[in-house]
């Protein structure tokens, strides 16, 4: 058995699980944070994307034991004091979701994409960067629009803050 | 997934020791091949020895034109390395097209090479760049390292610690990606040295995994131009045939990717 300690959404957490337990199951079942989804068993859909130590990862393909000691942000950790994160706002404003199953992974992926590219994102880059995330509903178009809008807004607000 | 025992090593020596004390262990680097394989129950190691926290296995060093990449360096770190881009941008481009961003944040060069998937990208680069594979106990040339489908010269318990090569005068990689998986249906890495020597390695196409194509190498050494490829025959009898493409189709792709690679170099 593994004795896991990590920081999740700013909180120190711990739990006991099998060495083989996947990070996504630890997050959902031990921590009760069910926003992170499982959509496939082939590491291809991206519904499980979380941030680990500052980078997006597929939590269905990492053991909880591998992630021990790390700092994790899940979809539940994005909103601050009840205010949606700008990427969440943009998905809402641009109808970037229908059933919502892929959305937590899409939003976490978008946050990571904007972290790496800043306000310089263009449509082609966004589409290429969505390689690891599958959506059965939207046809991606409004997801791309939402990410571009959020990138512009966050790039803009960063400039305003400087 | 079957039960397994997880161990985290903090040095190469400790990892080798841990491995020697367990019945059927496997090293775990980024886990982007091994964990999905274990989830499918296609692998069932009794123990996993995690290499990701071994600092001596991480990082990139470029000294003049000689490049050393720690085996636990991620695809993302290679893709965005300013030092490598300055001497061998083709390798950054290759790394930036492996899988997706999340896979690139975890997957490592050492894991990719140790796994030697016949459709993986890095083996083509390592072979064409005439790289040296550094392990905990010896150095292996790329020509001796890849020995067949998912087969390498690594012994039981041997760890790749780094990949080393001298940057060529020019190089390029072109991959014809499977539209669904993005793995190479055929990928060609070509490298040309200052003395005119050319090495060209093909991934995704060989029924025995990655290979050098001597005919294309000779033609390009004689005439470094995309047109030089036109008169070379690529024998389809050693190539893979599967639901994605026939051997004849892949034979043509080898020439087309070689031509594009030379044009891009
Ligand atoms: C969705 C998806 C898409 C992908 N697309 C591509 C693609 O387009 N092109 C491509 O090339 N790859 C692709 N991959 C595979 C990816 O590049 C893997 O990261 C890589 O093949 C294995 O590296 P790893 O660090 O994850 O190794 P792991 O999965 O941890 O290990 C793989 C094997 O190597 C062994 N090993 C690992 N490190 C060492 C070491 N230092 N010394 C000795 N043995 C070691 C392990 O024991 C294991 O047997 C994809 C993977 C996924 C999940
Ligand atoms: S559940 Fe992780 S990629 Fe599909
Ligand atoms: S909104 Fe339904 S899967 Fe994307």
Q: What domains lie within chain A, and their CATH numbers? A: 2-77 (3.10.20.30), 86-161 (1.10.150.120)
With CA atoms as reference, the chain A residue closest to B181 would be A44
Taking 80 as the threshold, does the pLDDT of residue A81 lie above it? Answer: yes
Nearest CA to ligand 3 atom 4: A135
Distance CA(B99)–CA(B101), nearest Å, equals 7
Nearest CA to ligand 3 atom 2: A99
Distance CA(B171)–CA(B67), nearest Å, equals 14
Shortest CA gap A13–chain B (Å): 20
Which atom in ligand 1 lies closest to the alpha carbon of residue A61? Answer: 53
Interval B68-84: pLDDT, tens: 999 999 999 999 999 99
| Cβ contact A58–B103 (<8 Å) | yes
Taking 50 as the threshold, does the pLDDT of residue B191 lie above it? Answer: yes
For tokens 């041997």, what's the residue? B158
Looking at chain A from residue 69 to 108, which residues have their Cβ under 8 Å from any Cβ of chain B?
Answer: none
Taking 50 as the threshold, does the pLDDT of residue A161 lie above it? Answer: no
pLDDT at residue A59, as a whole number: 98
pLDDT (mean) for A118-147: 96
Q: State whether the Cα torsion B27-B109-A50-A95 is positive or negative.
A: negative
- Which of A60-64, A115-119, B62-66, B123-127 comes out lowest in average pLDDT? A115-119
pLDDT at residue A162, as a whole number: 46
Taking 60 as the threshold, does the pLDDT of residue A159 lie above it? Answer: no
Chain A hits for B2, Cβ within 8 Å:
20
Measure CB to CB from residue A63 to each of B6, B32, B99 and give the nearest one. B6
Which residue in A38, A43, A72, A118 has the most chain B C-beta atoms within 10 A of its own C-beta, making it the best mutation to test that interface?
A: A43
From the CA of A99, how far away is ligand 3's center (Å)? 5
With CA atoms as reference, the chain B residue closest to A54 would be B105
pLDDT at residue B182, as a whole number: 83
Separation of CA B252 from chain center: 22
Contact by Cβ (8 Å): B105, A56: yes
pLDDT (mean) for B240-263: 96
Which residue in B39, B73, B101 has the most chain A C-beta atoms within 10 A of its own C-beta, making it the best mutation to test that interface?
A: B101
Report H helices in chain B. 12-20, 34-39, 75-79, 82-87, 89-96, 101-106, 109-115, 122-128, 142-145, 214-222, 247-264
Which domains occur in chain B, in start order?
5-50 (3.30.43.10), 59-166 (3.30.465.10), 170-264 (3.30.390.50)
Distance CA(A30)–CA(A68), nearest Å, equals 14
Distance CA(B183)–CA(B211), nearest Å, equals 17
pLDDT (mean) for A50-61: 98
Angle at B184 between CA B181 and CA B189, to 5 degrees: 155
Interval A6-40: pLDDT, tens: 999 999 999 999 999 999 999 999 999 999 999 99
Query: Considering all CA atoms of chain B, what is the largest pairwise distance in Å, rounded to the nearest integer?
Result: 56
Ligand 1 in reach of B220 Cβ (< 6 A):
no
Interval B147-190: pLDDT, tens: 999 999 999 999 999 999 999 999 999 999 998 888 899 999 99
């Amino acid at each position: 058995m593994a004795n896991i300690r990590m920081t999740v959404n700013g909180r120190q957490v711990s739990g006991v699980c099998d060495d083989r337990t996947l990070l996504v199951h630890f997050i959902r079942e031990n921590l009760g944070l069910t926003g992170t989804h499982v959509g496939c068993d082939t590491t291809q859909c991206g519904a499980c994307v979380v941030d680990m130590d500052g980078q997006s990862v597929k939590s269905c393909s990492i053991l909880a034991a591998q992630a021990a000691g790390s700092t994790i942000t899940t979809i539940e950790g994005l909103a601050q004091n009840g205010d949606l994160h700008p990427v969440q706002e943009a998905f809402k404003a641009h109808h970037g979701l229908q059933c919502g199953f892929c959305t937590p992974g899409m939003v976490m992926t978008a946050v990571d994409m904007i972290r790496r590219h800043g306000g310089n994102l263009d449509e082609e880059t966004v589409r290429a960067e969505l390689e690891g995330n599958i959506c059965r509903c939207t046809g991606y178009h409004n997801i791309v629009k939402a990410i571009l809008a959020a990138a512009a807004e966050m790039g803009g607000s960063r400039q305003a803050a400087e | 997934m079957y039960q397994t025992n997880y161990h985290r090593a903090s040095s190469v020596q400790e990892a080798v020791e841990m491995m020697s004390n367990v019945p059927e262990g496997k090293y775990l680097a980024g886990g982007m091949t091994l964990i999905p394989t274990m989830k499918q129950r296609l692998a069932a190691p009794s123990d996993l020895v995690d290499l990701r926290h071994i600092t001596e296995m991480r990082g990139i060093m470029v000294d003049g034109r000689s490049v050393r990449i720690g085996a636990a360096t991620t695809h993302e770190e290679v893709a965005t390395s300013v030092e490598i881009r300055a001497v061998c941008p083709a390798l950054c481009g290759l790394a930036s097209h492996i899988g997706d961003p999340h896979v690139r944040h975890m997957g490592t060069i050492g894991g990719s090479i140790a796994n030697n998937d016949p459709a993986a990208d890095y083996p083509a680069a390592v072979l064409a760049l005439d790289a040296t594979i550094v392990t905990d106990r010896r150095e292996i040339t790329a020509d001796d390292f890849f020995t067949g489908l998912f087969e390498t010269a690594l012994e039981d318990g041997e760890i790749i610690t780094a990949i080393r090569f001298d940057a060529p005068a020019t190089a390029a990689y072109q991959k014809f990606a499977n539209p669904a998986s993005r793995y190479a249906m055929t990928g060609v890495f070509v490298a040309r040295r200052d003395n005119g020597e050319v090495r060209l390695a093909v991934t995704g196409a060989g029924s025995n995994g990655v290979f050098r194509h001597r005919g294309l190498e000779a033609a390009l050494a004689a005439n470094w131009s995309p047109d030089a490829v036109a008169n070379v025959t690529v024998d389809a009898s050693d190539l893979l045939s599967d639901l994605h493409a026939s051997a004849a189709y892949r034979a043509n792709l080898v020439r087309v990717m070689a031509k594009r690679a030379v044009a891009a170099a």
